[in-house]
Structure 1
Amino acid sequence: MKIQNAFRIGLVGTLGVGLGLLILTSIASLSTIITYIGAALFLALGLDPAVTWLEQRRLPRWAAILIVMLGVALVLAAVVLAIVPIVVREVGQLVEQVPAIFRRLTSEDWVDTLQLWFPLLDIETVIGDITTQLQKFVSDTDKITELLGGVLQFVFAVGGALFAGIVVFILTLYFTASMNYMKRATYQLVPASQRARFADLTEQITQSVGRYVMGQASLAACNGVLSFIFLSIIDAPFSAALAFLAFLLSLVPLVGTLTGSVLIVLVCLIPGLGSPLTALVAAIYYIVYMQIEAYVLSPNIMNRAVKVPGALVVIAALAGGALLGVLGALVAIPVAAAALLIIKQVVVPLQNRR
């Protein structure tokens, strides 16, 4: 259509802006669903290598998918049955010890120790101010109401997380079952002359993502098991809960292991639960473990999955975390690997032919 006057220009421009705003608003409204789909697709790509391996052993695809999903469900059930009762018991013990910890913090011996550690601070005044604020908080009805509201929000958040987990699990099952169909449908959208090349590149990318997911899960499992063994040996408080925390945080690349290590050391330092010696031993262990993970475990496991330079790994993980949080940090490295693969096999050969 040929635009002949200012009215038509303004009308078309307004419609274009409105359509753009509608698309952006729709994406923002569907952000939670898009996150579920992205997480499920990421997990499906991670399970696809195991399904393919079973298919190569002459199993039908439905049987391979059933075996893999049952294996995942059994592992999750075993973790829940093994960890949750211990975590609940240890959290209950922690709640029971809160008054004793508070008395320990306000005792004269502990005050004198803190005063020796921090001679520039008036520790008695600081503790007195904290105690006064706690008493005001307990006596303030509005604060108690806000606290109860926060507890309810936490309960709703836990329920939402469980619902999200169920949705992601179901979507992962569907995506894993229809992975080949989805790939073939995508290939049909590519011109026939480029279809074979596109299919080969897509297979390399999906295999790289799958190996990355399995590699990261292996590193996290290694950290969780070793943490449980070590924390049990040194008689650290809440060893099972802390080991499970180390496993969960290690799923996040780069900063996960460091964050979990710092939290574990801080818990070991709590008066009445641990001791400075226990915290020191834990700190030394995790420093050594992080070196072994960085220079031995991670190169041997992850280099087989994705070949990405170290600097690009850091940049990708930071950018992904800033954009999409934990999910962005998880998918950033395979996305960077896919981009490098496209550059090496598509962009560079195209530039060389010119």
Structure 2
Amino acid sequence: MKIQNAFRFGLIGTLGVGLGLLILMSIVTLSTILTYIGAALFIALGIEPLISFLERRKFPRWAALVTVLVIIIGAFTALIWAIVPIAVGQASQLVQGVVTWVQKGDAQKWFEQLQRQFPTIVNQDNINNVTHWLQSNVGNITNGILQTGIGIASGIFGVIIVIILTVYFTASLPSIKRASYLLVPASKRARFADLADQITDSVGKYVMGQVSLALVNGALSAIFLTIIGAKFPILLAFIAFFFSLIPLVGTITGSVIIVAICLLSGWQTALAAAIYYLIYMQVEAYVLSPRIMNRAVQVPGAVVVIAALAGGSLLGILGALIAIPFAASILLIIKQVVIPRQNEL
């Protein structure tokens, strides 16, 4: 009997471990799909405040959904139609400017100046070593370029999938909520529904706030860079908008890239851009962000930094985007569930 019980225990334990490993392997295999689902759900929650706003204005749910989608798709199409041709043209000018810079001999002069200032680093031996490394790794470099092209194609496919999932999630978000609430015991369902609504509202307002900050940065960048005569102002404004969507480090990263590109217009232009972005980051941190985000998420600064770093390490840009509202959700649960329960003990 003891041997039989031991065999049964070992068999059940082995099956349990195997099932656990199977689940983990399935999650890893489906990580890309899960990322698409998470991104689509995140965007759907961001669109929900606009739909709720129209519903409060006596719009039917379907009419509010169609109106919001038409406005968003129309604005995105208009933005692409207005920016992409200019950005592509300015990017071509940027490449042509670099080629001209090399052909005129300015690159050689710059290289000779580097040799005079850093003779131990920029010398013929190091140049020969770099040239030899490039020649010996040309296959790997070509393969890397090919993989980059495949990655871009996969990214475009992923964007299409996310858009389709976003439409479905946005249309069925109320029914998804109701189905989720039914999984909770009836005695706790009302409290769970209240917390879930607060969390989803917080996420939606956070998404809208982050997009609003990015639009402000992009518009102001386009105006200022045009005024100071920087080259490629529309392209740089698009860079400012895109990076501002990334919380915490996006604005400063985009600003560094923009200032570096402004060097093509002269050091005076780059200095003016650097001073502008230093001032703008202070205004965004202490004026714009508190006013726009005060109704979205209320998270201490240290938690914001930790959450953004952890989310970025785990899921990249998507992780950095959802980390702050996720942290706000955890804090909300702690304040409204954990702490009151502890006070009752």
* TM-score with structure 2 setting the length: 0.93
The residue aligned with 1:349 is 340
Look up the equivalent residue of 1:242 and give its one-letter code: L
**One of 210, 228, 231 as aligned partner of 2:225:** 231
**One of 169, 173, 178 as aligned partner of 1:175:** 169
Query: 1:128 deviation in Å?
Result: 5.0
The alignment covers a number of residue pairs equal to 342
- Per-residue CA distance 1:1-57 (angstroms, 9 max, x = gap): x99433222222211111111000000000000000000000000000100111111
After superposition, the Cα gap between the structure-2 partners of 1:283 and 1:188, relative to the gap in structure 1 and judged at 3 Å, is same
Query: 1:90 deviation in Å?
Result: 1.5
Whether 1:240 and 2:234 are equivalent positions in the alignment is yes
How does 1:247-266 map onto structure 2 within 5 Å? 247-266=241-260
Distance 1:93 1:137 in 2: 30
Query: 1:132 deviation in Å?
Result: 5.2
Distance 1:206 1:282 in 2: 38
- Per-residue CA distance 1:125-149 (angstroms, 9 max, x = gap): 82756765786688x4972x54444
**One of 119, 126, 133 as aligned partner of 1:122:** 119
Query: 1:323 deviation in Å?
Result: 1.4
Classify the secondary structure of the residue corresponding to 2:265.
Answer: coil
The residue aligned with 2:290 is 299
Whether 1:59 and 2:59 are equivalent positions in the alignment is yes
Look up the equivalent residue of 2:119 and give its one-letter code: D
The residue aligned with 1:289 is 280
The residue aligned with 2:108 is 106
After superposition, the Cα gap between the structure-2 partners of 1:335 and 1:319, relative to the gap in structure 1 and judged at 3 Å, is same
- Per-residue CA distance 1:257-304 (angstroms, 9 max, x = gap): 0100111111122xxx22111111111000000000000000111111
* TM-score with structure 1 setting the length: 0.90
- Per-residue CA distance 1:88-130 (angstroms, 9 max, x = gap): 11221222223322331212xx456556xx74x128x827567
The residue aligned with 2:146 is 152
Distance 2:82 2:3 in 1: 70
How does 1:67-216 map onto structure 2 within 5 Å? 67-102=67-102, 103-107=105-109, 110=110, 114=114, 119=117, 121-122=118-119, 126=122, 140=135, 143=138, 145-216=139-210
How does 1:3-42 map onto structure 2 within 5 Å? 4-42=4-42
Distance 1:137 1:94 in 2: 28
Distance 2:3 2:62 in 1: 56
Distance 1:114 1:166 in 2: 46
Q: Percent identity?
A: 58
CA contact (8 A) 1:224 1:244 kept: yes
Extract unaligned runs of 5+ from structure 2: none
Distance 2:97 2:8 in 1: 74
Distance 1:180 1:82 in 2: 35
Distance 2:23 2:36 in 1: 19
Extract unaligned runs of 5+ from structure 1: none
**One of 268, 277, 296 as aligned partner of 1:277:** 268
The residue aligned with 2:43 is 43
CA contact (8 A) 1:3 1:9 kept: no
Classify the secondary structure of the residue corresponding to 1:23.
Answer: helix
Whether 1:340 and 2:331 are equivalent positions in the alignment is yes
C-alpha root-mean-square deviation of aligned residues, in Å? 2.2
Distance 1:64 1:130 in 2: 63
CA contact (8 A) 2:114 2:122 kept: no
The residue aligned with 1:268 is 262
Distance 2:141 2:75 in 1: 36
